[in-house]
Amino acid sequence: MPFAFRSVQSPPVRRRRKEAGTRGTDTCPVDVTVLLQREDGRVLLVPRPGPLAPPTGVLRHGEPVTARALAEVRRQTGVGVDPGDLEFCHLVHRRTAGGRGRLSVVFTAQRWTGRPRPATVWADPARPPAGRTPRTAALLAEFTAGALLSLQGWTVADGGEA
């Protein structure tokens, strides 16, 4: 089902002063990823500096995830996606090497305008190519399985997976 856009007015936010020792503990960086998917099921991967990965960018303060998704697809692949063609498909909450959390919001799009840049690769998500990142392989496995949420790097003691 396509992502439905609607605007709602947020209630006023009462700001509290930060407590001592909480600096930085209330933030979690958010990545935004888009899987462009052809009719045959293949998804588009782009050559980043290094391994192949889907178009991904870091959400900026005050920016909607959909705006970042559209901007990264255009910047990294050269194609345009209509906001109504984005579909939410997955959320990844991973633990970084430093022990901090990081979220990845993943969308799919099955329609776009333009042609992807020549260096891009159409890959079978069930059999990712060798030149991809381990995170890309994990994401594509979860996507293929139809999972909506995955936890990566969290332990049972953290409330996550083993």
Outline where 1-42 has alpha helix (H): none
Output the pLDDT for position 39.
97
Q: How far is CA 71 from the centre of its chain?
A: 13
pTM above 0.85, yes or no: no
Output the pLDDT for position 25.
55
How far is 161 from 145, CA to CA, in rounded Å? 17
Edge-to-edge strands, sheet with 149-152: 56-58, 30-36, 101-109, 86-95, 149-152
Domains for the chain: give ranges and CATH numbers. 30-158 (3.90.79.10)
Q: Is the pLDDT of residue 19 over 60?
A: no
Tens of pLDDT, residues 92-104: 999 988 889 999 9
**Stretch among 49-63, 109-123, 147-161 having the lowest mean pLDDT:** 147-161
First-to-last alpha carbon distance for the chain, in angstroms, is 32
Q: Kindly indicate the confidence band of residue 157, based on its pLDDT and cuts at 50, 70 and 90.
A: confident
Contacts of 143 (CB under 8 A, 6+ apart): 35, 43, 89, 90, 106, 125
144-155 average pLDDT score: 92
DSSP, residue by residue, 67-103: HHHHHHHHHHHS-B--GGGEEEEEEEEEE-TTS-EEE
Output the pLDDT for position 97.
87
Q: How far is CA 77 from the centre of its chain?
A: 15
The owner of tokens 């994401």 is 139
Tens of pLDDT, residues 32-78: 999 999 999 999 999 978 899 999 999 999 999 999 999 999 999 99
| Residue 27 vs residue 106, higher pLDDT | 106
How far is 132 from 47, CA to CA, in rounded Å? 9
Q: Is the pLDDT of residue 81 over 90?
A: yes
Tell me which amino acid residue 49 is: P
